[in-house]
Amino acid sequence: EGPLEKALRRNDGVRASVGGGGGGGGRAGARAKSSDHAYILSPLSFHARLRQSDRLRCVDFPKYKLTSELSSLSVMLSRPQLELGRRIAATVKPRGDVARPLFPEYRPALAISCLTAKEWWKYAVRCVGRLNRRRSWAEFMIAYKKRKRYLPLYKRGAHHESCPWLSKLTVSETAMLDRLEQDRTISAQGIMCWRNIADAQAERERSKHDAARREREKAKRAATGEGGGHGG
């Protein structure tokens, strides 16, 4: 029996602090008891980034990906809540004895038969090449062309409202963007990487436009001031 179980046996509540100092625990606990709120997770102030996959079925990548940085985290749980959390964690934990497809972005969406043997052999060859870190120049060129098409389409589709210089996607361009995102030869990690690049490009363009606008306003104010001085 560990120290946590002993503490739970002595007291029905447990307060765990991760990354914070021990001295502030008593003060925070006193504040929690004096308030009318019963927080499981104490109020926090932080920035988080959420990514959601557009695919309905996610095999080797998460449906939702939340990333953040927390300097400290305070949790207050009762013993039943802690036991429930352990059961939930054990249920959602990935099983190690379940076979998962190798490079599913290359895997043919076809049943194995004499008619589809060629596609499955191509899949096997590509998987061996990926495992040995060997890829053909033709694959590099195909991926490069897809990336070159995807970046401007996604940037315009995601940022045209906040960036007036970006035009809205047409119906055909929206369909092309959907086809690229549903392309099974492009991994989810690749799509996320391309989106990050497009977001960074839009942010850089936004910063340049804001800087140019501030310079124009500064020059306009300076010209107005000089004109007023001459007029006086």
Q: What is the pLDDT of residue 171?
A: 93
* 61, 129: one domain: no
**Co-location of 76 and 126 in the same domain:** no
pLDDT of residue 56: 76
Please tell me the predicted confidence (pLDDT) of residue 157. Answer: 92
Question: Do both 201 and 123 map to the same domain?
Answer: no
Tell me: do 140 and 215 sit in the same domain: yes
My answer on whether 12 and 84 are in the same domain is yes
Where among 109, 134, 159 does a domain terminate? 134
Whether residues 115 and 155 share a domain: the answer is: no
Same domain, 225 and 141: yes
Residues 77 and 66 occupy one common structural domain = yes
- 17 and 71 together in one domain: yes
pLDDT of residue 59: 66
Show the domain range for 110.
Answer: 101-134
The number of domains in the chain is 3
164 and 125 fall within a common domain = no
Residues 191, 226 share a domain: yes
Which pLDDT value is given to residue 25? 46
Q: For residues 42 and 18, is the Cβ–Cβ distance under 8 A? A: no
Q: What is the pLDDT along the chain (232 residues), one digit of tens a residue?
A: 555 454 444 444 434 433 444 444 444 444 444 455 566 777 777 788 888 887 777 766 778 888 887 777 777 778 888 888 888 888 877 777 767 777 877 888 888 889 999 999 988 888 888 788 777 788 788 889 999 999 999 999 999 988 889 999 999 999 999 999 888 788 888 898 999 999 999 999 999 998 988 998 888 888 887 655 555 5
pLDDT (0 to 100) of residue 130: 79
Query: Rounded to two decimals, what is the model's pTM?
Result: 0.50
Which pLDDT score, from 0 to 100, does residue 125 have?
87
Residues 148 and 225 in one domain: yes
Q: Which pLDDT score is estimated for 188? A: 81
Contact criterion met (CB below 8 Å) for 203 and 180: no
In this predicted structure, what is the pLDDT of residue 37? 54
